[in-house]
Amino acid sequence: MDAARGLALFGMMAIHVLPAADEDVEPTLTWLLFAGKAAALFALLAGVTLAFTTRKARTEGGHFLAAARWSLAARAGLVTALGLAIAYVDMDAFIILAYYGAMFLLAVPLLGVSTRTLLIAAAGFALLGPALMQGLRDYLPAPGYDPTFSTVVTEPGVLASQLLLTGTYPAIPWLAYIAAGLAIGRMSLDRTRVQLVLLGSGAALAAAAWFGSRLLLAGPGFDRLLASEPYLGSDDLQGILVWGTDGYLPTSSWWWLSIAAPHSTTPFDLLHTMGVATGLLGAMLLVARFAGKALLLLSAPGRMTLTLYCTHLLFLGTGALADLPEFSLWLQIIAFVIFAVIWQRAGKQGPLEKLVSRGAASARDSVLRRHPDTRSAKRGR
């Protein structure tokens, strides 16, 4: 789990730092491997982690489940606040944290539902979320670059619509990853059979979504998209299928939901990246059975991704080494690995992780303190 999270972190860093195209204007290996997929893995793993941390609360129910929900709401608020604060730093990257907080808040009602309901919810958010996004987009304000605390005061409507539907990581369709992660986190992930199922089903879902999109575009889809945008040429559309759009998808045709470009947030994009993330998690769990120690260089940073992600963003804001992208990326990765390994050896939680955990724990304990029976139950265990 930690190693997969570390890989997601480094993948997002690579997308931020390395060029997306080579000298022939072809997508680089970095773009093909990580564009849209690293962020999806990050979100899926967040759902898995939520399943781990709320397992006892779901079993106990009652006040324990209520406390877990308040704890998650507090975590959502703290992560959102961190994202709004760091957005004041000028950088060439989209910040996921405020969207992440919105996803956590929307996930509060999902904590106590059945695994079957979670799987249905994941499919529903993946299929219907993009349709809702496309259907309402023309009636919602255009999003800004990244929301800050100023946006909360001056443009609350823009903030809400951006975090939920119109932004880079819209929380409503992206809740598909959280719901799927919650369902996966309830499985017996230490069993080889489950790990193989995750690997196989994830690969199958990723392939089915990708080929499904290509099949539709090989049929009437491509021509319908060209016809929907008079100023769009065939080469332009081919570029969109590889790179995605500069802004958000046009609303001139529902056929736009048939593409699977990175960060297009279409059903095919969501299902493809969800499959990749699920399969990669299964692969990591299998590798860990036989070579867990070899994953230390990923797992140590994976235990403090919030701290390292924010440090990476602040480094981008300095503009340092912008003309040496490969050197910049490897310098950051090496520094993060060394710091994380030393920090882990000291047995400490990451600084920002500790801050968020304390806030979430405080919200949980405040609920439990109001119910003496829950405190007695805790002492009994």
| Lowest-confidence region among 289-293, 300-304, 305-309 | 289-293
What pLDDT shows up at residue 291? 81
Q: Is the pLDDT of residue 37 over 70?
A: yes
Confidence band of 301 (pLDDT split at 50, 70, 90) = very high
What pLDDT shows up at residue 27? 93
Both tokens assigned to 325: 């992208």
Per-residue 3-state assignment (H helix, E strand, C coil) for 215-242: HHHHHHHHHHHHHHCCCCCHHHHHHHHH
Count of alpha carbons within 13 angstroms of residue 225, beta-carbon side: 22
Q: For 241-280, what is each residue's pLDDT tens digit?
A: 999 887 778 899 999 999 999 999 999 999 999 999 999 9
Q: Is the pLDDT of residue 346 over 70?
A: yes
Q: For 205-237, what is each residue's pLDDT tens digit?
A: 999 999 999 999 998 999 999 999 888 899 999
127-136 mean pLDDT: 95
Q: Is the pLDDT of residue 381 over 60?
A: no
Percentage above 70 pLDDT, the chain: 97
CA–CA gap between residue 222 and residue 200 (Å, rounded)? 30
Both tokens assigned to 239: 């570029």
Confidence band of 289 (pLDDT split at 50, 70, 90) = confident
Q: For 137-188, what is each residue's pLDDT tens digit?
A: 999 988 878 899 999 999 999 999 999 999 999 999 999 999 999 999 999 9
What pLDDT shows up at residue 372? 62
